[in-house]
A and B are shown apart, each in its own frame.
Chain A
Amino acid sequence: MMDYTKIMSKNVRTLQPSGIRRFFDILDTMPDAISLGIGEPDFKTPWHIREAGIYSLEQGHTKYTPNAGMSRLRGAVAEYLSRRFDLRWDPRDEIFVTVGGSEAIDLCIRAVLDPGDEVIIPTPSFVCYGPLVTMANGVPVYVETKAENEFKLTAEELRDAITPKTKLLVLPYPNNPTGAIMEQGDLEALAEVLRGTDIMVLSDEIYAELTYGGHHVSPANIPELYERTLLVNGFSKAYAMTGWRLGYVCGPKPLLKQMIKIHQYGIMSAPTTSQYAAIEALRCGDGDIEMMRDSYDNRRKLLLKGLRGLGISCFEPRGAFYMFPNIGAFGLTSEEFCTAFLREERVAIIPGSAFGPGGEGFARICYASSVENIETAVERLGRFIRNLGGEK
């Protein structure tokens, strides 16, 4: 019999599968559990967008598109970024369309890293950056952001993490799982630190449209950072289009030219149907964005009030659709806490430890769920922590 472990790439073998596999295994046995775990909009894609996809199929648009994506779509992206975020890139060679924001992140990392290069990753954050860096033979350098700094990356933390090998800084804001955002002044402070270096910024702005009580600011809005920013965005969160797998990347032409080679060999082109739907989304979807954002905002306020009503300390998230309460006071690790909560109260929330250094002691609750689910979850959480107190 073949020994497959000898065949596997060492790099891949040492990758950790999601650290909370066991947690999901339990969840899998509880079909009736309330899940505030999955990070996904609870809306369906608005009908006019779905319909545009269907119509493109009726018209027989079933072939490949250009590698970079349809020029009409790239034009619509450029127009959208200018209209909503005051950002400008040339749709001909500074924007291209990818399979979700995820592919765009992978391409940015692979296009700039040589073996041993370092990538600074603020945590807690989405789980993909470190493993993708490892796969590209780079070295992830995690920087723990702090609740007392509103989970922002500070200039000092950045300065301490930079070495001569630093190639890339990931800025995952608005942040999953903390809900933190970076404001103009915060980004300007980082710009100061980066001045004179060759460090590129990979700005993952998939939650840009879900910013509450203010307007999203991109690093690319800071004149000094514009030339060193690779912006990643997509359709999943703003338009509830997760299953369509469509995103894009914008940035300096010489780098995009490298990235598109990888895209060309590995992917060819992003799904055609999705691209037609995306054009409709960009052109006629502003109202959908507002409607969904208002709805998330209502639920954000509801959950925050609920958690604080239980006496749980929680940073007020300003973006995305997650809340990241501090559960450290209950004497359990976040995985123990969430596992026990799931077993006893049948509500799934995600242990903070899954999101890298700094996540321990917290749990992520996704509030893209019904008001009823949120209220039930808060009620059960209250009962759960009262019982924990009783055991002490």
Chain B
Amino acid sequence: MKDILKLLEEDSRYTPAELAAMTGKDEAYVRETIRRCEEEHVINGYTALVDWDRTSEEAVTAFIEVKITPQRDDGYDRIARRIYQYDEVESLYLMSGSFDFSVIVTGKSLREVSRFVAEKLAPIDGVISTATHFIMKRYKDKHRAFLVEPEQEERPLFI
């Protein structure tokens, strides 16, 4: 299972036939493993890594530190649920250290993201404070460098 997951994490477009060939397993086994992983939420989805900066679309991402008061019984989870339900929230992590939640929010403009923080996030019951950091440039995400590195100019001709 680990080898299949590692390959899918590298490129989720690999087909079951390709995965079977690369791991030496049969295709039915690969299909079944993937199905089970999806069912058990080991695999939680497939997505593309888009660099919106290379398109004409406007896109802004912010990283927001959030401090909260944990709730009785539910601890952090109930507030987390109230936060992550918003479509604007790309990721949400519970952190150790000087703040509680790290929230990654995307929007079309600084104003849109700011409005989300001011009108949606900050007023949530239990949220004590927020600190918003706008992301200026994305160098690397999911192990992929977003800057295109120069290719070697000359092709060597040895064998």
Contact = CB atoms under 8 A, between A and B. Distances in A.
A and B interact: yes
Contact of B157 (A27, A305, A375): A27
A271 interface: no
B32 interface: no
B21 A18 contact: no
Interface of B: 3, 6-7, 11, 14, 18, 21-24, 155-159
Interface stretch (A33-41, A75-83, A104-112, A381-389): A33-41
A305 B21 contact: yes
9 contacts: A20-B159, A27-B157, A39-B158, A39-B159, A298-B3, A298-B22, A301-B21, A301-B23, A350-B159
B159 A18 contact: yes
B156 to A, nearest CB: 6
Contacts of B3: 294, 298
B43 to A, nearest CB: 19
B159 A354 contact: yes
Contact of B22 (A20, A24, A39, A299): A299
A35 B155 contact: yes
Interface string A1-42: 000000000000000001010001001100100010111100
Contacts of B21: 301-302, 305-306
A298 B157 contact: no
B157 A301 contact: no
A35 B154 CA distance: 13
A371 interface: yes
A375 B18 contact: yes
B22 A28 contact: no
B95 to A, nearest CB: 26
A36 to B, nearest CB: 12
Most B CB within 10 A of own CB, among A28, A294, A305: A305
A37 B22 contact: no
Contacts of A375: 18
Contact of B156 (A40, A298, A306, A371): A40
A127 interface: yes
B151 to A, nearest CB: 11
Given A39-B159, A371-B22, 14 more contacts: A18-B159, A24-B157, A27-B157, A28-B155, A28-B157, A37-B159, A38-B155, A39-B158, A294-B3, A294-B6, A298-B22, A299-B22, A306-B21, A350-B159
